[in-house]
Amino acid sequence: MRRVVIAMSGGVDSAVAATLLKQKGYEVIGITMCFGLIQKETKRPTCCGSGAIEDARRVAQKIGISHYVINMHKVLEEKIIKNFCNEYLCGRTPNPCVRCNQFIKFDALLKKALSLDAEYLATGHYARIIKSKVYYLKKARDLSKDQSYFLYRLTQGQLRHVLFPLGDYTKEEVRRLAKRFNLPVADRPASQEICFLPEGNYREFLKKRIHQKLISGPIMDK
């Protein structure tokens, strides 16, 4: 039986992806990443808070797979948050989700999956991988949910060990599958904010992190 590690965020996408893999006969291991972030009350659920971890655990129990939580705080700080702050200081707008996929999900987490003798790491991303002579990253069938642009930095070595079970489904179909599978997160709202900015207020975040480096400058063009 082929083993696959599924990144479980506590949301409906990763829950359905895990269930589909289980039904296809894989030995599925669920892993939820914990970043040790300060949690605040938000309108939408976050992808890495205690609530998300509990939701992922309930899904794993429902479909009968093992579930583990691993601490990724250090790599988030070193690879994502520091770069996020430095890019703004350089006058550029960063995309932390691209770097998260590059350095956390498909580097640190992929290495963890391979260390567990898994053949693949799977996620709930809406994207597809097509193998010809090489591996091609393709858009998802549901173009309104396509996430391939977040994954453009994946290498051939990474793509050969990655599965995107939802690439050929629409979001509506995934919601219906979640209800059919009776998953406890079938109606859970999607988390859309940056994980370390649950309220989307990057200005306040930057003030707290790099306030000593934020200085006023002349307005060069009115």
Task: Answer yes or no: 34 catalytic.
Answer: no
Marked catalytic residue, from 34, 85, 90, 195:
195
Task: Answer yes or no: 195 catalytic.
Answer: yes
Per DSSP, the residues of the chain read --EEEEE--SSHHHHHHHHHHHHTT-EEEEEEEE--PPP---SS--SSSHHHHHHHHHHHHHHT-EEEEEE-HHHIIIIIIHHHHHHHHTT----HHHHHIIIIIIIIIHHHHHHTT-SEEE---SEEEEESSSEEEEE-S-TTT--GGGGTT--HHHHTTEE-TTTT--HHHHHHHHHHTT-TTTTPPPP-S-TT-TT--HHHHHHHHHGGG---------
Marked catalytic residue, from 34, 47, 97, 100:
100
Residues taking part in catalysis: 100, 195
